[in-house]
Structure 1
């Protein structure tokens, strides 16, 4: 049986890599640009979006229409920003993150290159599609806002679990290992996503939270891969 690395340990190991100069230089500039773009989009669309939601979608709720419109608009913009950041990180940042994590934490881990660019794109699109579907299914929970917030935390955790592990493992795992680590570690991957999910609800911070999630998921995935290979070596015939 493989020993488990704690989620707290993964988060603490991710911090120095997240604040490294190289990661900031390569990744932070496009993320800052994306954050500024979404702030501008939110500023320009806020009033029309809230008005439309209150008068067209939630007009049945009477006095609560404006509140439901504000809450829905806020969550929609926040979650759209999170999804945008994760897709950008998956495509642009994960190769840098994987190299930084591997050099610091797993320098001897063999690279078997089981992932592909097309696989990464398909994975990102499918994860985003599921994210949108789950978010739409959660909309009725707006009648009880605390449940809606909890649902969105779970949805964000699931998005992280589905999107990031493929890119974290693509360079080092072979195809069988890539599938096996994601399958056998799915509960721990979801728990890590849930631990980081509250940061996704903070405007602007959510962009950088997505980057931190990329680092943390890479550490956890490569750690699980290294342990899987160690177990396989022990079980191999002498």
Structure 2
């Protein structure tokens, strides 16, 4: 548990490290640029498509007509854009997480290893394509869970609980693997992921809660839609900040656990080291004769 909180505060400090700050700009620029280009190219067509799809549903049409009858006709104009934003947020989260995992995490791990664990040997337990495949598989599983959980979002408490849980699980699976890819063997990685799964999951859930906070920028409803271009960039920046912190936290925690594991293995190996046989042992030196007394 000491490592849990120690890694947390170290991660907070490392987020201000110049190298980490500079490396975090790359996923930020790529994610923000990609979101801006997609929004510029497909925003209007996406809103029109959602509006046409909603008009084909009799239940939604009846609900909108009822809202018009009570004077809430402004909701009809903003409902389709709000749906597009709601569907876009998971895509932005996944895009930012993958960019941070691929571009920033190796630099964070290198910085942490050089500054804090200079003697920790790199055993190259996983290559970059294995990390990418692992991240892609976990991302698909998280998106599937997110889609399947959508009906439960209509239960008021669950909409605030399920998405952070899913993002937390995804953060745990992706970063715990990536930070150990260069230093741990597959056996060491599996041991740490299995025996430290609850602290790692708690770290992921904490980051999932932090990652859900940027969605609050859209709480303004129609007013937020007027500032959508700016709020999208702010959201991407906040997501990048959260996942950069997650990379630092997981790197400090996992590498510290790896060092403890190897130290324990070294002590256990030394404890069972066989003693040299009598035939191969050098003869003990005879004590020097005492001088005769006067």
The bucket for the TM-score relative to the shorter chain is 0.7 to 0.9
Corresponding residue number in structure 2 for 1:108: 119
Structure 1 Cα separation of the partners of residues 111 and 53 of structure 2: 44
Counterpart for residue 155 of structure 2:
144
Q: Where in structure 2 are the equivalents of 1:54-73 lying within 5 Å?
A: 54-55=54-55, 59=60, 62=63, 73=84
| SS class of match (1:213) | helix
- 1:18 counterpart = 2:18: no
In the alignment, the residues of structure 1 paired with residue 200 and residue 151 of structure 2 have an alpha-carbon distance, to the nearest angstrom, of 27
Q: Map residues 3-152 of structure 1 onto 2, 5 A cutoff.
A: 4-39=1-36, 41=38, 45=43, 47-48=47-48, 51=51, 54-55=54-55, 59=60, 62=63, 73-152=84-163
Q: Among residues 221, 232, 239, which one is paired with 1:206 in the alignment? A: 239
In 1, the alpha carbon distance for the partners of 2:5 and 2:56 equals: 45
Q: CA contact under 8 A between 2:27 and 2:96: conserved in structure 1?
A: no
Distance in 1 between residues matched to 2:79 and 2:268, nearest whole Å: 57
State whether residues 113 and 172 of structure 1, in contact with CA within 8 Å, keep that contact through their aligned partners in structure 2. Answer: yes
The within-5 A match list for 1:166-181 is 166-181=177-192
Maintained 8 Å contact 2:24/2:240: no
For residues 154 and 197 of structure 1, what CA distance do their matches in structure 2 show?
Answer: 6
CA distance 1:183–1:30, change in 2 (3 Å): same
Does the CA contact (< 8 Å) of 2:138 and 2:173 recur in 1?
A: yes
Q: Distance in 1 between matches of 2:181 and 2:3?
A: 23
TM-score with structure 1 setting the length: 0.85
Quote the residue 2:229 is aligned against: none
> 5+ residue gaps in structure 1?
none
Unpaired runs of 5+ in structure 2?
68-74, 215-234, 274-294
1:107–1:49 CA distance, 2 compared to 1 (3 A): farther
Structure with the greater alpha carbon radius of gyration: 2
Asked if the contact 1:181–1:224 (Cα under 8 Å) also holds between the matched residues in 2, the reply is yes
Equivalent residue pairs, number:
235
Offset, 1:147: 0.5
1:37 is displaced (CA, Å) by: 3.2
Which one has a larger percent helix, Structure 1 or Structure 2? 1
SS at match of 2:2: coil
| C-alpha separation in 1, matches of 2:160 and 2:6 | 27
Contact 2:47–2:80, Cα closer than 8 Å, also in 1:
no
Give the 3 Å change call, closer, same or farther, for CA 75–211 of structure 1 in structure 2.
Answer: farther
TM-fit CA distance, 1:165:
1.4
8 Å contact kept, 1:124–1:163: yes
Structure 2 CA distance for partners of 1:166 and 1:148, relative to 1, 3 Å: same
Give the TM-score normalised by structure 2.
Answer: 0.70
The worse-fitting range, judged by mean Cα deviation, of 113-122 and 130-139 is: 113-122
More deviation, 49-58/11-20: 49-58
